[in-house]
């Protein structure tokens, strides 16, 4: 029981609420996810990945208890047609950041069993090549929430 409480505290610390010493070389800011449209079981998630280390890193996987799987997707226009394709990784330069945002790279939640409703938070685990697993909670919102910084 004690162990579970410690894990819960860690998850809260990792989602960027409050200050405190930064122990992880990679952190996530300004995350959010879109509500699932009626009758559709997919959603997109957006985050800013900030690399505080001297080593370039890469987001290589994502998963959530709320989706059958979470893909890394890239979006581009082919004429008037919006196309999405999977990418193997998202690079995060040393002492740099990368923003996943609408119209570009995003997290794709596939197989969402329980619709994402506005106001709730979606737990997501992001796996990085060097930093390992970073847990975040993405608030569900129709548009990007105001920046927290
Ligand atoms: Cu997508």
3-state helix, strand, coil in the chain (%, to 5): 10, 45, 45
User: Which residues face 44 on adjacent strands?
Assistant: 108
Measured in Å, residue 138 CA sits from the centre of ligand 1 at: 16
- Residue 13 has a pLDDT of 45
Angle (CA) 115-116-117 rounded to 5° is: 105
Q: Which of 42, 39, 46, 64 lies closest to 139 in space, CA to CA?
A: 46
Sorted by where each begins, the domain ranges of the chain are 2-139
The residue among 31 and 144 whose pLDDT is bigger is 31
Question: pTM for this one?
Answer: 0.80
- Residue 17 has a pLDDT of 43
Q: What's the chain's Rg over C-alpha atoms?
A: 15
Domain 2-139 matching CATH 3.30.360.10: the answer reads: no
Tokens 């992001």, residue located = 126
User: Which residues face 51 on adjacent strands?
Assistant: 26
Measured in Å, residue 117 CA sits from the centre of ligand 1 at: 19
> Does residue 146 surpass a pLDDT of 80?
no
Query: What confidence tens digit (pLDDT) does each residue in 60-106 have?
Result: 999 999 999 999 999 988 888 888 999 999 999 999 999 999 989 99
Measured in Å, residue 11 CA sits from the centre of ligand 1 at: 26
Q: Which of 45, 47, 35 lies closest to 114 in space, CA to CA?
A: 35
Main-chain phi, psi angles of 9, to 5 degrees: -65, -40
Query: What confidence tens digit (pLDDT) does each residue in 26-58 have?
Result: 999 999 999 998 878 999 999 999 999 999 999
The residue among 148 and 134 whose pLDDT is bigger is 134
> Quick one: pLDDT band at residue 147, thresholds 50, 70, 90?
low
């Amino acid at each position: 029981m004690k162990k579970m409480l410690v894990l819960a505290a860690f998850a809260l610390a990792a989602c960027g609420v409050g200050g405190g010493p930064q122990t992880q070389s990679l952190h996530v800011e300004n995350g959010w996810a879109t509500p699932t449209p009626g009758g559709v079981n997919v959603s997109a998630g957006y985050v800013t990945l900030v690399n505080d280390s001297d080593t370039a890193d890469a987001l290589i996987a994502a998963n959530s208890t709320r989706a059958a799987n979470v893909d890394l997707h890239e979006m581009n226009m082919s004429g008037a047609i919006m196309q999405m394709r999977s990418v193997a990784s998202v690079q995060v330069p040393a002492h740099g950041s990368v923003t996943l945002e609408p119209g570009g790279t995003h997290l794709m939640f596939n197989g969402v069993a329980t619709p994402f409703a506005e106001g709730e938070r979606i737990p997501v685990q992001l796996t990085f090549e060097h930093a390992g697993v970073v847990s975040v909670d993405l608030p569900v919102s129709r548009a990007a929430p105001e920046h927290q910084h």
